[in-house]
Amino acid sequence: MTQAPTTPPAASDSSAPKGLEGITAGDTTKSRVDGVNGKLFYCGYPIEPLAEEGSFEECVYLLWNGELPNAAQLESFTADLRRESTVPSEIWDVLRPLVKGSTQMDLLRTAVSAMSAFDDEVADTREAIDGRDEIERRIANRLQARISTLVAGIYRLKQGQKPIAARDDLTYAANFLYMVTGEEPGEYEERIFDAALTLHADHGFNASTFSARVTAATEADIYGAITSAIGTLAGRLHGGANMRVMRMLEKVGEVDKAEAFVDDVLSQPKGRVMGFGHRVYKVEDPRATVLRRMAKELTDRTGNSKWFDMSVKIENRVKDKKGIFPNVDFYSASVYGSLELDPEIFTPIFAVSRTSGWLAHVLEQHADNRLIRPRANYVGHGERDYVAKADR
């Protein structure tokens, strides 16, 4: 039974907007999200040419160094990534008994956490020592290289297959697709996938990046920060949405059932159509604009327009009824679906890309650190007397 307060509730210091909406929680030089005009920039560069003309390796270099690489810098950075792509065999042994009862995101979270045991340099980074940035950049490189091998290998373990080692002659995007399917992708598929990776790389203080920064700000190490971030990305309101978009399309089944499906979801209390709405964008998410274009292009090439046509119908209906727009997760689902990737790997793919942003933010946080520790607005009981067990 609830006890009556003996004094009124404590006066609150200040109330915070629910979900911290509209609160600026710190500075960053990594990405700028313009929610009013629907624009996104990495270190000042608009995302569209980065995605459509650049490469994911260039994008990662930019986020970690603040400038685009010249040809020699890019070559050396790409070689560094390739060199570090092997996952210690013990990690696969850790994962095998967990495969049946875990999602791919669960396995990824566990694997990244376990990888710290096989990194000889990580212990040194748990103190704010001189030279930490240099060591952490090497760890960042290692983790970015291995996350792709891990995600592809985890997918294969779930299929009852063996992980495949990365090749030293493929780009980051091509290597990932190769490690998933065992076949070298075509140039066109590689380009589309590379662009999708770039589009997901960074996005201000989104929930998982904020998690990574909060963890890093306690002076915890990179593996701890990225493990936090993976746990946060998995949720259905964040990265977990892209897989659910594909499940939704599968459930709708036919293009001419799309509108009725939307009406049904929206008629339910708190009904959510996955892949729509955004905390910051009040107009269309610019990443969705590029991904819609890519999904259309893929459709035209393959001649299979089912997912795309269904998506357009859903988009128009949600816009008409709720006035909200697709976010990055909506058309990325049809892009990955058209590349014949399994929906269960969609969110782990998001993690492969966003690891670059998480790492950029951890390095940035450690370079000028202060503990992140906001206050809570207490709205519970006022002070009251303890009641002995026998008297409750």
d(CA 346, CA 291): 14
One residue of 275, 337, 348, 357 binding ligand CMC per CB under 6 A: 275
d(CA 234, CA 350): 10
Reduced to 3 states, what is the DSSP secondary structure of residue 181?
Answer: helix
User: Toward ligand CMC, which CB reaches closer, 122 or 349?
Assistant: 349
CB of 275 to ligand CMC, least distance (A): 5
If one asks whether residue 185 binds ligand CMC (CB under 6 A), the answer comes out as no
If one asks whether residue 10 binds ligand CMC (CB under 6 A), the answer comes out as no
Say whether 238 is catalytic: yes
- The two beta strands, 39-42 and 45-46, are antiparallel
d(CA 92, CA 172): 21
If one asks whether residue 274 binds ligand CMC (CB under 6 A), the answer comes out as yes
CB of 165 to ligand CMC, least distance (A): 30
**DSSP class of 183:** S
CB–CB of 244/236 below 8 Å?
Answer: yes
Q: Which two tokens stand for residue 305?
A: 């327009």
* Per-residue buried b or exposed e for 283-321, using 16+ beta carbons within 10 Å of the residue's own CB: ebbbbbbbbbebbbebbeeeeebebbbbbbbbbebbeee
- Taking contact as CB under 6 A, which single stretch among the options 111-119, 175-183, 269-277, 336-344 is the one that binds ligand CMC? 269-277
Per the residue annotation, which of 200, 203, 238, 366 is the catalytic one? 238
If one asks whether residue 19 binds ligand CMC (CB under 6 A), the answer comes out as yes
CB of 369 to ligand CMC, least distance (A): 25
Q: Report the DSSP beta bridge partners of residue 40.
A: 33
- Taking contact as CB under 6 A, which single stretch among the options 155-163, 164-172, 233-241, 297-305 is the one that binds ligand CMC? 233-241
User: Toward ligand CMC, which CB reaches closer, 274 or 363?
Assistant: 274
Residues that bind ligand CMC (rule: CB under 6 A) add up to a total of 19
Say whether 278 is catalytic: yes
User: Toward ligand CMC, which CB reaches closer, 18 or 370?
Assistant: 18
The residue among 301, 236, 308 whose CA lies nearest residue 275 is: 236
Write out the binding residues for ligand CMC, residues 133-172 only, by CB under 6 A.
none
User: Toward ligand CMC, which CB reaches closer, 328 or 359?
Assistant: 328
CB of 214 to ligand CMC, least distance (A): 17
Give the DSSP per-residue string, 316-363: HHHHHHH---B-HHHHHHHHHHHTT--GGGHHHHHHHHHHHHHHHHHH
- 262 vs 238, 244, 321, CA distance in Å? 20, 14, 9
Write out the binding residues for ligand CMC, residues 238-257 only, by CB under 6 A.
238-239, 241
If one asks whether residue 206 binds ligand CMC (CB under 6 A), the answer comes out as yes
If one asks whether residue 272 binds ligand CMC (CB under 6 A), the answer comes out as yes
The residue among 146, 179, 162, 157 whose CA lies nearest residue 101 is: 157
User: Toward ligand CMC, which CB reaches closer, 132 or 278?
Assistant: 278
- Taking contact as CB under 6 A, which single stretch among the options 44-52, 100-108, 134-142, 237-245 is the one that binds ligand CMC? 237-245
**DSSP class of 33:** E
User: Toward ligand CMC, which CB reaches closer, 279 or 381?
Assistant: 279
CB of 17 to ligand CMC, least distance (A): 10
Q: Which two tokens stand for residue 199?
A: 């589009």
Per the residue annotation, which of 202, 221, 329, 361 is the catalytic one? 329
CB–CB of 334/249 below 8 Å?
Answer: yes
Q: Which two tokens stand for residue 347?
A: 């969110």
Binding marks (x or -) toward ligand CMC, 313..352, rule CB under 6 A?
---------x-x--xxx-----------------------
Give the DSSP per-residue string, 84-107: T-PPPHHHHHHHGGGTTTS-HHHH
Per the residue annotation, which of 278, 285, 361, 366 is the catalytic one? 278
CB of 193 to ligand CMC, least distance (A): 18
If one asks whether residue 132 binds ligand CMC (CB under 6 A), the answer comes out as no
In the complex, which residues of this chain contact ligand CMC (CB under 6 A)? 19, 206, 237-239, 241, 272-279, 322, 324, 327-329
Q: Catalytic site residues?
A: 238, 278, 329
